[in-house]
Structure 1
Amino acid sequence: MKKLFAIALGILTAIGGFVDIGDLVTNGLVGSRFGLSLVWVVVIGIVGICVFAEMSGRVSAVSGRATFDLVRERLGPRAGLLNLVASMAVTLLTYMAEIGGVALALELASSVNRYLWMPVAGAAVWIVLWRVKFAVLENAFGLAGLALVVFAVALWHLSPDWASLWHQVSRPSVPQDESHATYLYYAVALFGAAMTPYEVFFFSSGGVEERWTARDLGTMRVNVFVGFPLGGLISISIAAVAAVVYLPQKIQVESLGQIGMPIGQAIGVLGIAFALLGFFAATFGAACETGLSVGYSIAQYLGWQWGKYVEPLRAARFHTVVLLSTVVAVGVLLTTVDPIMLTEYSVVFSAVALPLTYFPILVVANDRTYLGGHANGRLANTLGTVYLVLVVVAAVAAIPLMIITRAGQ
């Protein structure tokens, strides 16, 4: 049982990073419009986040310090501030969307208007981040998020044409009624969603929270190589279900409710119950990740005491940042902004911020002052360099594609 819980951090990070409110809807939307022709992007994203999460976790385990803390020390306060501003803007925007996503999940379960749930969701997230121990948080929401495996079960029950699905995966093409620019826009969005900056900072800081040492490198790698691929497989299952049910009817997915409808068709009421549990756990877990990441980043840059492993009064400034971020997030949401739209924009802006996030991690992971014999080897550096090129291309293309396609319209 202890070994099972040892990978809970990776599961929580994967569920919260790969399958948040934006990914739930974006994967459904992509599946309903493009089928499985963009699965290759998810696969590339899985490998990329595994590469940099492993570096980030290794830095944390060997040095005993979070990656963002070392980025500021290694590259200087100016480079650290640039990294902070870029990642914080994306993370705060995502935090708003995730609290909105919790409200959407509660609306589906209760039929009570989402805007009545938003203050409740924000307060619940803050209370959990303030009072609940880190181990309880990761175990509860990480494992509850596994309820989203119901999408894979539903796909099986739908008895699709497996040969057709494999053809879409293995021979990706742009549908006749879609433009190449729109196809590329969603490719960049999926890539940005898979490699969102807060994921690696949360994972690294979580390692410090759990007091990893060099002896825990095996556990850390299990977290990475089990958790993130699991999140990716769930994302692909969501897209596949939408492709089977909605693509033949030319119905475009635009809401969280539409994502869950095929589950009821395939499995029934019990399946819907699992889907709702998964929606809530994934969005709440993502809200916890992003909320903590806001506090982690600012506190680590400024050298404050931080983390849930210390008494709240000893990390008062850290918890104050989290509280203020929650108030701002709920305030913005109550202006009636669409949380799904917020997340769609956040994943695109995430792509823009990727080079500022991953280049410093690659630098720190090569520094033997911090890592000694655990510094990057040839394989890690080769993969890291290849992905740096990819994130630069995605960053350059993101905004022009968003403008040309009017955000994928």
Structure 2
Amino acid sequence: MKKLLEISLGVVTSVGGFLEVGSMATAAQAGALFGFQLIWAIVLGTICIIFLVEMAGRFAAVSHHTITDGIRERFGFNAFLWPLLAVLLINFMVLSAEIGGAAIAAELATGISYQWWALPVAFLAWLLLWRGTFGLIEKGVSMLGLVTLCFVVGAVMLQPDWKQVAFGAAPTLPHHDPANYWFMAVSILGASISPYLFMFYSSGAIEDQWDKSYLGANRVIAGLGMTFGGTISVAVLIVAAVVLGAHGVNQVNDYNQLPLMLIAIFGFWGFVLFTASLAIACFGAALEIALQQAYLVAQGFGWTWGENLSPRDDPGFSLVYTVTLFLAAIPIALGLDPLKLTIFSMALTAASLPLTVVPFLFLLNDDRYVGEHRNGVASNAAVIFIIALGFVLAVVTVPLQIFGGT
């Protein structure tokens, strides 16, 4: 029972991967522009990330290494340096977007421009990381993240054409604007299969001191946690397709358009629920990404690390998330549009997949790390498919950004 209670790690990872500003914005944009047509991209992304998260947890539980540790140790620091730099850069952009999302939520609640909230949001995140523990962040974000279930309730209350919703789970050619359709598909996949997500999960497993006895629970945690996030993301798309479409909004250019999704269903409380969902999801993701930046650098250079340690015991680790948070807040404080940054960074995230997923094929088949718990045929097939998908996304991202980016 204690192990199954660790599902909060799956939920908090899911909040960072599915319920943050990237997934909410891309799902809402996709629903407004293409109705239910892009549900398949969320479903595909969810299935892929379930496999990767399960592998990351299994690797950590058996080898007592994080994915970052494994890549550096198995391939050497020089080979590790390129994925490290790519992921750090993209994570920085995503972190900035998450701070912007939380700042937008503060603007919706107070009427004060989001630019003024960027540094306070970063400071609050830093304070929680500086003073808190991994368990506090893990359990707190997972519990507060349940507010996003309001999108599922809203989707059911809207009574959409469920037959059309089901059709949306199968890939189809776009009815119009193909460049934008495929760009949105790439952005959704980038928001779903984020490298920081499975890397964070492996670090969280080490923080929670997992061992081989957690292997069964890991499968449940990965499956339920990621499915939770994927379900919310599909619900956001459905609500956007029905509500924004009915109000003639076929292009989401401003976060101020998004509360309309729940206001149309719940009235004033819809505004409150949307603001709370956006704030919690983005703030939780900001905590997760800032931690992941610190995990990446500390593990990459062999420093002492751990959110459960005092900052004086892991000064380099604490310095990384401190500097990263405040630097990431600066572009938002200077007026950078969080929505445009979000869509762009999600597409780049998709393009970076090969750098971080290719090592899975080697690490999860290396007897020195996982022994008898190495990948089976299904898991290896999944990794090869994700690698192939990642290479396709890497090739098409820039042209789609030029011709289909909004």
Specify the TM-score bucket, using the shorter chain as the normaliser. over 0.9
Task: Measure how far apart 1:254 and its partner are.
Answer: 2.6
How many Å separate the matches in 2 of 1:299 and 1:3? Answer: 27
Task: Measure how far apart 1:170 and its partner are.
Answer: 4.7
How many Å separate the matches in 1 of 2:247 and 2:272? Answer: 26
Q: Which stretch of structure 1 is more off in the superposition, 259-268 or 378-387? A: 259-268
Over the residues paired in the alignment, what is the CA RMSD in angstroms?
A: 1.6
How many Å separate the matches in 2 of 1:98 and 1:217? Answer: 32
How many Å separate the matches in 2 of 1:171 and 1:356? Answer: 26
> Which residue is equivalent to 2:48?
48
The runs of 5 or more residues in structure 1 that have no matched partner are none
Q: Structure 2 length normalisation: TM-score?
A: 0.96
Counterparts of 1:261-276 in structure 2 under 5 Å?
A: 261-276=260-275
1:95 and 1:205, CA in 2 relative to 1: closer, same or farther beyond 3 A? same
How many Å separate the matches in 2 of 1:182 and 1:326? Answer: 32
1:370 and 1:4, CA in 2 relative to 1: closer, same or farther beyond 3 A? closer
Q: Structure 1 length normalisation: TM-score?
A: 0.95
Counterparts of 1:188-337 in structure 2 under 5 Å?
A: 188-251=186-249, 252-337=251-336
How many Å separate the matches in 2 of 1:248 and 1:159? Answer: 13
Give 3-state SS (helix, strand or coil) of 2:304's partner.
coil
1:381 aligns with 2:380: yes
> Which residue is equivalent to 1:34?
34
Task: Measure how far apart 1:259 and its partner are.
Answer: 2.2
- Cα deviation digits, residues 192-221 of structure 1 (max 9, x gap): 111111001100001111111111112222
Contact kept in structure 2, 1:55 and 1:362, CA below 8 Å: no
**Matching residue's letter, 1:277:** A
- Cα deviation digits, residues 250-309 of structure 1 (max 9, x gap): 312233332222312212333433332221111011001110011000110100011112
1:147 aligns with 2:147: yes
Give the count of matched residue pairs: 405
Task: Measure how far apart 1:163 and its partner are.
Answer: 3.4
Contact kept in structure 1, 2:9 and 2:201, CA below 8 Å: yes
**Matching residue's letter, 1:307:** G
How many Å separate the matches in 2 of 1:257 and 1:355? Answer: 35
Task: Measure how far apart 1:249 and its partner are.
Answer: 4.3
How many Å separate the matches in 1 of 2:68 and 2:336? Answer: 31
How many Å separate the matches in 2 of 1:368 and 1:165? Answer: 44
Contact kept in structure 1, 2:40 and 2:168, CA below 8 Å: no
**Matching residue's letter, 2:356:** T
How many Å separate the matches in 1 of 2:222 and 2:206? Answer: 15
Contact kept in structure 2, 1:142 and 1:281, CA below 8 Å: no
How many Å separate the matches in 2 of 1:2 and 1:267? Answer: 37
Give 3-state SS (helix, strand or coil) of 1:336's partner.
coil
Task: Measure how far apart 1:32 and its partner are.
Answer: 0.5
Give 3-state SS (helix, strand or coil) of 1:314's partner.
coil
Task: Measure how far apart 1:46 and its partner are.
Answer: 0.6
Give 3-state SS (helix, strand or coil) of 1:246's partner.
helix
Give 3-state SS (helix, strand or coil) of 2:355's partner.
helix
The runs of 5 or more residues in structure 2 that have no matched partner are none
1:238 and 1:187, CA in 2 relative to 1: closer, same or farther beyond 3 A? same
Task: Measure how far apart 1:171 and its partner are.
Answer: 7.1
Task: Measure how far apart 1:100 and its partner are.
Answer: 1.1
Q: Which stretch of structure 1 is more off in the superposition, 147-156 or 241-250? A: 241-250
> Which residue is equivalent to 1:99?
99
How many Å separate the matches in 2 of 1:146 and 1:256? Answer: 21
> Which residue is equivalent to 1:180?
178
How many Å separate the matches in 2 of 1:6 and 1:169? Answer: 30
- Cα deviation digits, residues 81-108 of structure 1 (max 9, x gap): 0110111111111111111111111111
1:69 aligns with 2:75: no
Give 3-state SS (helix, strand or coil) of 2:313's partner.
helix
**Matching residue's letter, 1:393:** V
Task: Measure how far apart 1:167 and its partner are.
Answer: 4.1
> Which residue is equivalent to 1:84?
84
Give 3-state SS (helix, strand or coil) of 2:112's partner.
coil
How many Å separate the matches in 2 of 1:165 and 1:53? Answer: 27
Task: Measure how far apart 1:240 and its partner are.
Answer: 0.4
Give 3-state SS (helix, strand or coil) of 2:89's partner.
helix
How many Å separate the matches in 2 of 1:361 and 1:124? Answer: 35
Q: Which stretch of structure 1 is more off in the superposition, 148-157 or 121-130? A: 148-157
1:42 and 1:336, CA in 2 relative to 1: closer, same or farther beyond 3 A? same
Task: Measure how far apart 1:247 and its partner are.
Answer: 2.1
Contact kept in structure 2, 1:5 and 1:139, CA below 8 Å: no
How many Å separate the matches in 1 of 2:219 and 2:32? Answer: 34
How many Å separate the matches in 2 of 1:220 and 1:313? Answer: 32
How many Å separate the matches in 2 of 1:333 and 1:165? Answer: 36
Task: Measure how far apart 1:377 and its partner are.
Answer: 1.4
1:391 aligns with 2:379: no
**Matching residue's letter, 1:51:** F
Task: Measure how far apart 1:162 and its partner are.
Answer: 3.0
How many Å separate the matches in 2 of 1:5 and 1:107? Answer: 35
